[in-house]
Amino acid sequence: MDLRQIECFLRLYEEGSVTRAARRLHIVQPALSARIARMEADLGEQLFERSPQGMRATLAGHRAYEVFSPVLASFREAQRSFEQRSDSTSGRLTTGFVATVANSALAPSVSAFVARFPSVELTVFEGYSSLLYDWVRAQLLDFAVINDVVDDPELKTLPLLEEPFLLIGAAGADLPAGPALPQQLEGRRLVLPTKRHGLRLSIDRMTEREKLSLNVALEMDAMPAIGRLVEDPSWFTILPPTALGDLLGTGRLRAVRVAASGLQRRLVCAHGGRRPLSLAGHCFAEILGEELRRKSEDLLRRST
């Protein structure tokens, strides 16, 4: 039994005539009669009796009308709600982002979202993946955009971006001609994020798998400062394209991909399983994901 059958039944009940009900439904009479017959077969009940006055509902027909009338009304209301203009969405949206997203794609994404949903009150926080993860679990955030380094079955995630890690140096620095093999990372004076950072966790996992010994001469999480530092040909870093944002596309830096198995930066929109993501949240994640992918592809093209 489907909604079309239910609608045919309700209109025949209300009109009491196959001719009038079929006209109201814009279908031919045999089609209406066939759907009523299938519905009666599905329910195992006769719903109408033919009389000189037209089609008269049986006792089962009266019961069916009481049951199915609100079902169809609820479905139509849900359909109308879904079809409403997206900019009618309102309410509050509290979100968090890792700094590398805030540096690269957040501003244009927020601008596009606010233009589309002017009635949504937006609050944005910045922090480490671990902190934002704790806030999502505590239901202090509707969602957070974090590095996908947390394995928690209670956390629901939507993938936003997957991008490679790059060996980045000054425009005139000594970089491999092609993708950098893991062994070619050794011996270079590196500045990397601290061990509190989700990107550093990915790098450390790679070095452990590849049994590398990296020369991490400096640790800091200020991405703009890292970008400025590696303009000096004696410094290098290992980061994904969007981590440095527009600094990577200035022409003062050059990059090659790191050819290490499994070394990928994955950004996800994370929310609690017991707190479904709202329509506004889904739309924000979609806008941000598109901006991140555009930004990552552009930076890769301009720097490698």
The pLDDT, as a whole number, for residue 54 is 86
Q: What pLDDT is recorded for position 219?
A: 97
What are the residue ranges of CATH 1.10.10.10 in the chain? 3-83
Fold assignment, 163-264: D-Maltodextrin-Binding Protein; domain 2 (3.40.190)
CATH 3.40.190.290 maps onto the chain at 163-264
**pLDDT per residue of the chain (304 residues) written in tens, 0 to 9:** 788 899 999 999 999 999 999 999 999 999 999 999 999 999 999 999 988 888 999 999 999 999 998 888 888 777 666 655 544 566 889 999 998 888 788 999 999 999 988 888 999 999 988 889 889 888 889 999 998 866 777 788 889 999 999 999 999 899 998 899 999 999 999 999 999 888 999 999 999 999 999 999 999 999 999 999 999 999 999 999 999 888 888 889 999 999 988 899 999 999 886 667 888 888 899 999 999 999 999 988 888 7
pLDDT at 155: 81
**pLDDT value, residue 150:** 66
pLDDT of residue 87: 47
What fold is seen in the domain 87-162+266-303? D-Maltodextrin-Binding Protein; domain 2 (3.40.190)
What pLDDT does 89 receive?
65
What radius of gyration do the chain's Cα atoms show? 30
CATH of 3-83, one of 1.20.140.10, 1.10.10.10, 3.40.50.10420, 1.20.1270.10: 1.10.10.10
- DSSP labels, the chain: --HHHHHHHHHHHHH--HHHHHHHHTS-HHHHHHHHHHHHHHHTS--EEEETTEEEE-HHHHHHHHHHHHHHHHHHHHHHHHHS-GGG--EEEEEEE-HHHHHHTHHHHHHHHHHH-TTEEEEEEE--HHHHHHHHHTTSSSEEEEES----TTEEEEEEEEEE-EEEEETTS---SSSBPGGGGTTSEEEE--TTSHHHHHHHHHHHHHT---EEEEE---HHHHHHHTTSTT-BEEE-HHHHGGGGGSSSEEEEEB--TT-EEEEEEEEETTSPPPHHHHHHHHHHHHHHHHHHHHHHHHH-
User: Residue 84's pLDDT is what?
Assistant: 54
